């Protein structure tokens, strides 16, 4: 197939798609601009023209990862059970990391020496962060969690990242049942912990109501 010569948005999208796929299939060490150009049927100079340099290409992969994660979240239904919806969100996040482990490492562990996200790059996660905080807020409004929504969201995201990385590495359990049990145990324990303040306030309110009658 002849190499594409036009530096078009379509070529840019194709190069980015190829780069994401190569990262997943061959790992960070094998991701080179020359290999990306070959698989995208274009030239290395074209890749440089589109993305500046390798760090520019890696930056776009980083940003695309957060766009992909947000699309995963957008597929989630919203029910009348905010706690169950929050658990579904964490499980979706788990599924994304399992399906895209190398991409997740780039997004959350910064595995590339050629790319160090700056403040503007880190804003790529804002849409994802707001989605998680929104689900936590629903739980707080419903009285099933208590605390600062942003703090709780950060704790839950960190928990999910850690568990998913451990699962991908094969250290979370030797059977599907044990892995699922540990996921459920960790998530329920953390949610129950954050729910303790809500339950205490509810009991205090009931006692206050009873005392005034």
Q: Quick one: average pLDDT of 117-139?
A: 90
| pLDDT reading at 209 higher than 80 | no
* Nearest by Cα to 63 from 103, 24, 99: 103
**CATH architecture under which domain 1-52 falls:** Orthogonal Bundle (1.10)
| pLDDT reading at 3 higher than 80 | no
CATH 1.10.10.60 range(s) for the chain read 1-52
The structure tokens listed for 143 are 């009285």
| pLDDT reading at 122 higher than 90 | no
Per residue in 165-201, pLDDT tens?
Answer: 999 999 999 999 999 999 999 999 999 999 986 655 5
CATH 1.10.357.10 range(s) for the chain read 68-212
Using pLDDT thresholds of 50, 70 and 90, give the confidence band for residue 160: very high
| Nearest-angstrom CA–CA distance, 13 and 56 | 14
Which is higher by pLDDT, 27 or 152? Answer: 152
Residue 123: per-residue pLDDT: 84
Q: Quick one: average pLDDT of 115-136?
A: 88
Which is higher by pLDDT, 187 or 210? Answer: 187
Per residue in 4-33, pLDDT tens?
Answer: 455 789 999 999 999 999 999 999 888 999
Per residue in 28-80, pLDDT tens?
Answer: 888 999 999 999 999 999 999 999 999 999 999 999 999 999 999 999 999 99
Assigned CATH topology for domain 68-212: Tetracycline Repressor; domain 2 (1.10.357)
Per residue in 87-107, pLDDT tens?
Answer: 999 999 999 999 999 999 999
- Concatenating the DSSP letter of every residue in 22-66 gives HHHHH-GGG--HHHHHHHTTS-HHHHHHHHSSHHHHHHHHHHHHH
Residue 205: per-residue pLDDT: 46
Residue 202: per-residue pLDDT: 52
């Amino acid at each position: 197939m002849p190499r594409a010569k036009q530096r078009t948005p379509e070529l840019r999208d194709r190069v980015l798609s190829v780069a994401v796929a190569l990262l997943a299939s061959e790992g960070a060490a094998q991701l080179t601009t020359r290999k990306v150009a070959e698989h995208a049927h274009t030239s290395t100079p074209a890749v440089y023209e589109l993305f500046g340099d390798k760090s520019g290409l890696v930056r776009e992969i980083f940003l695309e990862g957060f766009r992909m994660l947000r699309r995963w979240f957008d597929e989630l239904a919203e029910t009348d059970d905010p706690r169950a919806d929050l658990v579904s969100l964490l499980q979706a996040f788990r599924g994304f990391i399992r399906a895209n482990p190398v991409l997740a490492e780039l997004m959350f562990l910064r595995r590339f020496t050629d790319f160090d996200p700056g403040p503007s790059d880190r804003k790529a996660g804002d849409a994802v962060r707001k989605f998680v905080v929104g689900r936590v807020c629903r739980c707080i409004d419903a009285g099933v969690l208590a605390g600062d929504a942003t703090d709780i969201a950060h704790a839950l995201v960190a928990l999910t990242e850690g568990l998913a990385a451990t699962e991908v590495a094969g250290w979370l359990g030797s059977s599907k049942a044990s892995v699922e049990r540990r996921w459920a145990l960790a998530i329920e324990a953390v949610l129950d912990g954050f729910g303790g303040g809500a339950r205490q306030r509810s009991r205090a309110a009931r006692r206050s109501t009873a005392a005034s009658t």
